[in-house]
Chains A and B, each alone.
Chain A
Amino acid sequence: MSQDKSIIPESLLNAVGIESQPITYEIEKGHIARFAEAIGDDNPAYNDEISARKSSYGSIIAPPTFCRALRPGDLPKAAESPFSRNLDAGSDWNYFEHIRPGDRITVTIKLANVVEREGRLGKMIIITRETSYVNQLGQIVATQKTNGISY
């Protein structure tokens, strides 16, 4: 990467590693059921308490991408893209524990990496953010790495 032509502002590079303020969500059974309905997933593990209790899960659990509904706080201004067009390019998830109604999940997002790319749309930057989801027992339930394209 030729440093003199970089379109990444130095303030953004310096912000790599910065984290948001954590936000804690109390997980409601109704929200899980509504999320499952909104993705068109009728698995009783998400909406039928009796069936879910009888299953190996032992209770209602949340679908894998329910964490998308637990939105992290904003990163500081310096960690934001300088460009107005932003695309979500995808997610990489790791799952460790189930999320259950009554859990308190603490969400923190971190600016993990910024790189410059030449693409179909011209020069663009790829911003990688990592979000962690930790329950009230201190267990990491999931992590999500997202790549955003900004140009």
Chain B
Amino acid sequence: MGLAIRIKEVYMTNRILYWDDVEEASEVTPLYKNASSQLLVKYAGASGDFYQIHYDVEFAKNNNLPGIIIHGALKNAWLGQLMTDWVGNTGRLKTLSCQYRAMDVPNEDLICKGVVTKKYTDGDHHLVDCDIWLENSKGDKTTPGTATVELPIK
């Protein structure tokens, strides 16, 4: 999925997303994710969330789950990355919110997406509101949310 190209584009060039160039109803560059069970163990370790439904299949099944499920907070982190990748290091994430409406599982192709809903100023601040969400392989929005970013002007 061109990860190396994405990294190069986002970080190596001094690409700047200017407020002037953003239009309402335009898309946020999508972010592709597919969590291995190993990633969930890493997230458990790095975040300190050791709830066993995220890495112990038997434990998860005993809790009426089909198997292990992805941490809600990890999906939240991905939606954060969706925005920080899009705005680059001259933009600023101001708010980020999401609701865990449905569970997601490892080894499934997931996409973080977003669309600009509002472009406005607040004093000297040039702001953009977005609807954001995580979509599973069936196209369901399992984790909808919103974000506000501040961007530089030309």
Contact = CB atoms under 8 A, between A and B. Distances in A.
B98 A91 contact: yes
A94 B100 contact: no
Interface size class of A (residues with CB under 8 A): 20 to 34
Contacts of B95: 92-95
Contacts of A55: 89
Nearest to A55: B89
A39 B78 contact: yes
Contacts of B72: 88, 90
A57 B89 contact: yes
Contacts of A56: 89-90
Nearest to B36: A40
Nearest to A42: B7
B76 A40 contact: no
A149 to B, nearest CB: 10
Contact of A38 (B7, B33, B46, B85): B46
Contacts of A31: 46
A95 B47 contact: no
Interface in B15-59: 33, 35, 39, 42-43, 45-49
Contacts of A93: 95-97
B99 A68 contact: no
10 nearest CB pairs, A to B: A38-B46, A64-B80, A90-B99, A92-B97, A38-B42, A39-B77, A65-B77, A35-B46, A38-B43, A93-B96
Interface of B: 7, 10-11, 33, 35, 39, 42-43, 45-49, 72-74, 76-78, 80-81, 83-85, 89-90, 92-100, 143, 145
